[in-house]
Amino acid sequence: MNPLARKVFTRVGTGLITVIFAATIVFFLARVTGDPTHQILGENASQEAIDQLRNQLGLDQSIFVQYAEFLSKLAVGDLGTSLRYGIPNIELILPRLGNSFLLTAVAVAGGSAIGYILALLGATKRGSLWDKLSTSIAGIAQSIPPFWLGLVLVYFFALRLEWLPSGGVGDWTHVILPAVAIGMIPLAYVTRVGRTSIVSVLAEDYVLAARSRGFSERQVLLKHVLRASAIPVVTVIGLLTGAILSSTVTVEVVFSWPGIGSLANQAIQGRDFTLLQAMAIVTAVVFVLINFIVDLLYEVLDPRIRTR
């Protein structure tokens, strides 16, 4: 097997194992935390109703039979049917996932870009006013809760100034305010991690050597510093993307944004355990994909990784 095929095979295999492992944990957790039928029907439900629902959900079978059935359905992409809505979970999740992706992508891209510019300013002008300003902005961005910032943004830009819509999904203007609220998280982390990384690369001998060879500061930064310093930043962005994608419920509620976070909220309130189970599996798949993209970016940024 050639190295590229082996690499792809290993990555896909590792990803599948991760998803199966996550699905297994989700499956058993849903069952060890109590009988879902009690949670769905309530404490006063009759035994007959409970038995009927247990039979309907297959919960009256042994746990191993349930698990085998669960895995066989998962293998063909069947994530079950929502107890509350009565339609396949995947049909509920995918449109919401698309919305969440859009919001997360805009927030992470914008926040990270601004964060990296601030990091570059701080690192290349260490100790200056720019450095202090970028560090202060990162500190403020990190300490503001996104839902609170969301409320403030809605108050000023939607209600007072009437420049932007206060919520919902529509044209590109709808994504700005929630993206700004969420984007403070990557902005803060990328500024801090990026600054530290750039400062450390700037102190490397090969940067001094590049300067001494007659390259301008801009050329040195573009060709040697940015690429080398981007690896920890990409790691942070990858981790944050996954975390933001699956944890923006408060911001989604503030902006009435129909994303995966608000769907999870509805599933919890509706005791829709099959939907929650499906969402957990989809989230695991998303994390695997993000890690795969991050690994690819590592290879682009540091070609030595390809040669190992």
Tokens coding 193 = 């991690």
Is residue 208 part of the contact set for other proteins (CB under 8 A)?
Answer: yes
Q: If binding is defined by CB under 8 A, does position 203 make contact with other proteins?
A: no
Taking the complex as a whole, the smallest distance from the CB of residue 194 to other proteins amounts, in Å, to: 17
List the one residue out of 275, 191, 287 whose CA is nearest residue 245: 287
- Taking the least distance from each CB to other proteins, the nearer of 160 and 304 is 304
Structure tokens at 133: 């300003």
Interacting residues with other proteins between 211 and 250 (CB under 8 A): 211-217, 219, 223-224, 227-228
Query: Per rule CB under 8 A, is residue 205 in the interface with other proteins?
Result: yes
Contact between 125 and other proteins per CB under 8 A:
no
CA 17 distance to own-chain centroid: 20
> What distance in Å separates the CA atoms of residue 181 and residue 255, rounded to the nearest whole number?
10
Among residues 12, 25, 87, 209, the one that binds other proteins under rule CB under 8 A: 209
Interface pattern 163-202 for other proteins (x via CB under 8 A): ----------------------------------------
Distance of CA 251 to the CA centre of its chain: 14
Q: Are 81 and 155 in contact (CB under 8 A)?
A: no
Between CA 71 and CA 63 the distance in angstroms is 12
Residue 144 in 3-state DSSP?
Answer: coil
Rounded least distance, CB 223 to other proteins, Å = 7
By CB under 8 A, is residue 154 in contact with other proteins? no
- Only one residue has tokens 């066989």, namely 72
What is the contact surface with other proteins in residues (CB under 8 A)?
204-206, 208-217, 219, 223-224, 227-228, 301-304, 307
